Amino acid sequence: MTRPRPDRELDACGIGFVADAQGRSSRAIVAAALSGLAHVKHRGAVAADARSGDGSGVLVPIPPAIFGEGHGVITLFFRGADPRPAVEAALADEGLKLVEWRWPETDDDHLGDLARGSKPSIVQAIITAPTDGSSTDRHVGSDDDERVAYRLRRRIGATAADTYVASCSFRMLVYKGLAAADELGHFYVDLADERFEAWADGRTGYPLVDAGMRQLRTEGWLHNRVRMVVASFLVKDLHIDWTRGARHFMEHLVDGDVASNQHGWQWVAGTGTDAAPYFRVFNPVSQSKKFDPDGAYIRRWVPELAALEGAAIHEPWTADADLFGGGQHGEYPDPIVDHATERDEALARYDEVRA
């Protein structure tokens, strides 16, 4: 056996690249990337606890459904002193503005003991893009924007003690950590949860919810009844933080008003200054039958269901498969959750908080 030679040693890391040949963005690409990452787990070291790794990560385009259109994102890992004042000073030096601070949700059950014990605090800064004053609708993420992001990253690194800048860009975002490669997608809730995208795209399997979300994307407006129904579904059926829904509304509503929007979402979520009745959970089926009895609204915005008649328009999963012309429900999805089950879960969570 020959003696190891440092000049012949090769990095054992694995790397992959996933894209759509037509340039189309989709959750499927992220899912494929996470699957690919899991399949190169053997290329990295794993601790005895089987869940702590020597580092895994994914690089993805900044998702506007989470961070808003036209924004940059800085992801920071830190211990000790809060780096936010230093970051805000660096932003000011570059002529940029902070939109908001965000603490990404993580599930530490998907970390091993070693990784959990060394986990830093993780915070993200959502920031405005640079502007030269020539256009308000210019493309964000240009080479010039990335040069600004590079300078910003260097400023933060020089002034924020005990802070690691995981990513800083107007194009891309890094999710990384000392999780085993097949655990990373479960550790970061942003990566693991497809429910928000299904809600935002109008693909929940509940016709009234989907009709409302599709109208929002198309017209930038919703009747208040539908606003309450779709908001309740996000918070109390999907159990997703109301602030994500509020941000999505403000990105699309032509009549968006911060005070009215945020207060409305807090009311639905049962967390605001007027949280009663916090225990009210809108039933998307009964609301549909009561306020769109003939299904005219649903047929307009969910054309996949246009052939359905009677009560089936409100509960397409009960309809004869022949009416869809292929597949059990054609191209329309099954309900992503069972409303009755999730209603009980929501009420149980409220009871736990009040106990």
CB count in 10 Å sphere of residue 182: 19
Delimit the domains of the chain by residue range. Answer: 11-193, 196-354
In CATH terms, 196-354 corresponds, of 1.10.579.10, 1.10.3720.10, 1.10.287.3510, 1.20.120.790, to 1.10.579.10
Q: Are 280 and 233 in contact (CB under 8 A)?
A: no
Q: What is the mean pLDDT of each run of 10 residues along the chain (355 residues)?
A: 60 77 78 84 86 92 90 96 96 94 93 94 93 59 92 96 96 95 90 84 96 97 96 94 87 93 92 74 96 96 90 88 49 92 91 80
Could you tell me the end-to-end alpha-carbon distance of the chain, in angstroms, rounded to an integer? 67
Whole-number pLDDT of residue 253 = 95
Whole-number pLDDT of residue 169 = 97
pTM: 0.58
| Bridge partners of residue 78, in order along the sequence | 121, 163
User: The domain at 11-193 falls in which architecture?
Assistant: 4-Layer Sandwich (3.60)
Reported residue count of the chain is 355
Whole-number pLDDT of residue 10 = 57
Whole-number pLDDT of residue 12 = 57
DSSP element (H, E) containing 177: strand 172-179
Whole-number pLDDT of residue 144 = 92
Q: Reply yes or no: is the peptide bond before residue 277 cis, omega within 30 of 0.
A: yes
| Bridge partners of residue 123, in order along the sequence | 76
Six-digit token pair at 175?
Answer: 């999710």
Q: Are 81 and 161 in contact (CB under 8 A)?
A: yes
DSSP element (H, E) containing 56: strand 52-61
